[in-house]
Chain A
Amino acid sequence: MKVKLDRMSFPAVIFQSIPESVIILYLGLASIGVRSRFRRVFPAAVLSAAISWLVRGLPLPFGIHTVIGVMIITGIYCTLFRIHLIKSVTASLFAIGCLISTEALILPVVQKLTGFTNVKDIWAEPVLRVVLAVPEMVFLGLIAYLMLKYNISFEKLTGENRFPVREKAKR
């Protein structure tokens, strides 16, 4: 199998990879009902983007990077956020899965709009790559925001179950 190296430019890391990592981390945390501050998520996102940049430089076939990405985010959740392993795996699978499916959903539209028939050509253009990641990030960011705002997660507990308390006695 012929493997092409995917070298990301520095602006792409700054304007695409890091914001994307922030959103992915937030999305994963939201899926398991964990809220975290930006100052805690941002360094984790920088670390994730840096490791991703290194991994992308490795001569691996398409798809393996994603699997490694899941492992990286799981590791970050486990170590930096101290989340249980199985919860971390669930969160990272959800976040990366959302990213991949959003990419798959947006790319045909992008191809139609730009006239590029080959995805590889779009990714080869540094500016286009960053610009075209914007709608994807907006979409994912919106999902993460809505999930956090309306407390949508796998383990969402409602009503009495959410906080088992008794009504205060009327005086």
Chain B
Amino acid sequence: MNSFPSTYFLVAIYLGQVLALSLGTLTLQYNQILESRVVLFLSVFIILNYLIAILFFQRLFQADYQSQILEIREKALDKAENMLQLVRAQRHDIINHLHTIYALLQMGRDKQARKYVSELEIITANANQTVRLDEPIVAAFLQSKLMQARAKDLFFNIEVLTELAGCAAKPYFIITILGYLLDNAFEAVENLPVGTAGRATNISTG
């Protein structure tokens, strides 16, 4: 999470003004223009200003932080929506595959049906890895990336070494990190010629 330079700029302007006021007070005191009583009053006023600055700017930083969190959550929500669409598409796919297998069996083409099922098994084997994850949002995200890789004709291997059960980090933070990593990895390999060993991305949870 990056810090907030614009807010710090405001803090610096405010503190600059308070410093100018305190410097003015000290100068007047140094040149014996102000009475001690007035200087004391002004000093207390300035110190109170510092306290107010800390309390006020803390709130401002909190608000900035909340808006950043909100932004991340909105992005996560968008991703979740995409995943929902993906699940619908997958459901559609499964029905189509079942129809194809059923039609092949009805036509008595058992051999072709078996071949079709074995091809399907290879494709779904990698997807099964994500099902093992204890974090459904991360699983759905990896599933969507798997589909994306398939669409781009990339080899994307997922290896689940831990189920992410009891993981302290929130799923939207994991997705943000994974999203950046995988997008960069896909971008790096997608320009390589089709069929080369380099067009592969491996990810493992562990």
Of all A-B residue pairs in the complex, the 6 with the closest CB atoms, nearest first, are A108-B36, A105-B43, A93-B15, A97-B19, A169-B166, A100-B22
Tell me if A104 and B43 are in contact (CB < 8 A): yes
CA gap between A92 and B65 in the complex, in Å: 24
A interface secondary structure, majority: helix
> What's the tally of chain A residues with a CB closer than 8 Å to chain B?
44
Tell me if A104 and B19 are in contact (CB < 8 A): no
Q: Which of A66, A90, A103, A157 contacts B12 (CB 8 A)?
A: A90
Please give, as numbers and ranges, the residues of chain B lying within 8 Å of A100 by CB-CB distance. Answer: 19, 22-23, 26
Tell me if B66 counts as interface (CB < 8 A to partner A).
Answer: yes
CA gap between A86 and B61 in the complex, in Å: 15
Tell me if B15 and A90 are in contact (CB < 8 A): yes
For residue A70, give the distance in angstroms from its CB to the closest CB of chain B.
7
CA gap between A117 and B5 in the complex, in Å: 44
Tell me if B57 counts as interface (CB < 8 A to partner A).
Answer: yes
Please give, as numbers and ranges, the residues of chain B lying within 8 Å of A120 by CB-CB distance. Answer: 30
A97-B50, A161-B69 are known contacts; what are 15 more A-B pairs with Cβ within 8 Å? A84-B8, A87-B3, A93-B15, A94-B50, A100-B19, A100-B22, A104-B25, A104-B29, A104-B42, A111-B36, A154-B11, A154-B58, A161-B62, A161-B66, A169-B166
How many A-B residue contacts, CB cutoff 8 Å?
Answer: 121
Q: Which of A102, A118, A161, A171 contacts B32 (CB 8 A)?
A: A118
Interface residues in A81-136 (C-beta closer than 8 Å to B)? 84, 86-87, 89-90, 93-94, 96-98, 100-105, 107-109, 111-112, 117-120
For residue B163, give the distance in angstroms from its CB to the closest CB of chain A.
11
For residue A80, give the distance in angstroms from its CB to the closest CB of chain B.
19
Most buried by B among A86, A107, A112: A86
CA gap between A62 and B5 in the complex, in Å: 32
